[in-house]
């Protein structure tokens, strides 16, 4: 079996949106999946791309994707790469597609001189946790992720 890894192009937007929807369903977060073809197109191919995506194909059929973006670590003074999403369709799991997507992202990070490749995994996704640990990845347990949602990002009504 040959797996091809290709950078996503604007022509891939419909399939990429389907994959994002499948991932949202798998992660039990479909209610949060509000992206559109236009918003993903702007993020990946707009004037200031925010992220990059790569598609994995097996026999010409799209098997999964990885989406990542550049970060920066002030203490090391080096760039990093953050793997926002890695998804393999169920029919292709256990065939090296996920390993290949992760290896692709790692190669991009290395080629760009990044000091690290990081990602998050849902705690209940034991299969993914086991997969990542089998590759030598380690959890970073001394940090807690915080998030401000859109309502918290809005300026206060009094302008203060």
Instruction: Please tell me which residue in 68, 87, 132, 146 is annotated as part of the active site.
Output: 132
68 is catalytic: no
2-59 tens-digit pLDDT: 999 999 999 999 999 999 999 999 999 999 999 999 999 999 999 999 999 999 999 9
pLDDT tens figures, 70-110:
999 999 999 999 999 999 999 999 999 999 999 999 999 99
Map out the domains of the chain with their CATH numbers.
3-153 (3.40.630.30)
pTM: 0.90
The CB density around residue 115, as the number of other CB atoms within 10 Å, is 15
pLDDT at residue 144, rounded to an integer:
86
pLDDT confidence of residue 35: 96
Cα distances from 142 to residues 10, 35, 51, 117, 136, in angstroms, run 39, 31, 27, 17, 18
């Amino acid at each position: 079996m040959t797996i091809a890894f290709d950078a996503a192009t604007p022509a891939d937007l419909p399939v990429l949106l389907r994959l994002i929807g499948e991932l949202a369903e798998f992660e039990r977060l479909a209610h949060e999946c509000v992206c559109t073809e236009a918003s993903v197109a702007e993020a990946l191919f707009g004037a200031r791309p925010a992220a990059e995506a790569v598609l994995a194909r097996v026999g010409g059929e799209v098997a999964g994707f990885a989406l990542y973006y550049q970060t920066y670590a002030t203490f090391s003074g080096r760039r990093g790469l953050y793997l926002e999403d890695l998804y393999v369709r169920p029919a292709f799991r256990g065939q090296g597609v996920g390993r290949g997507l992760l290896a692709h992202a790692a190669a991009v990070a290395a080629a760009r001189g990044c000091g690290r490749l990081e990602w998050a995994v849902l705690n209940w996704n034991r299969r993914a946790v086991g997969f990542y640990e089998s590759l030598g990845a380690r959890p970073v347990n001394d940090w807690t992720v915080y998030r401000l949602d859109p309502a918290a990002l809005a300026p206060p009504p009094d302008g203060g």
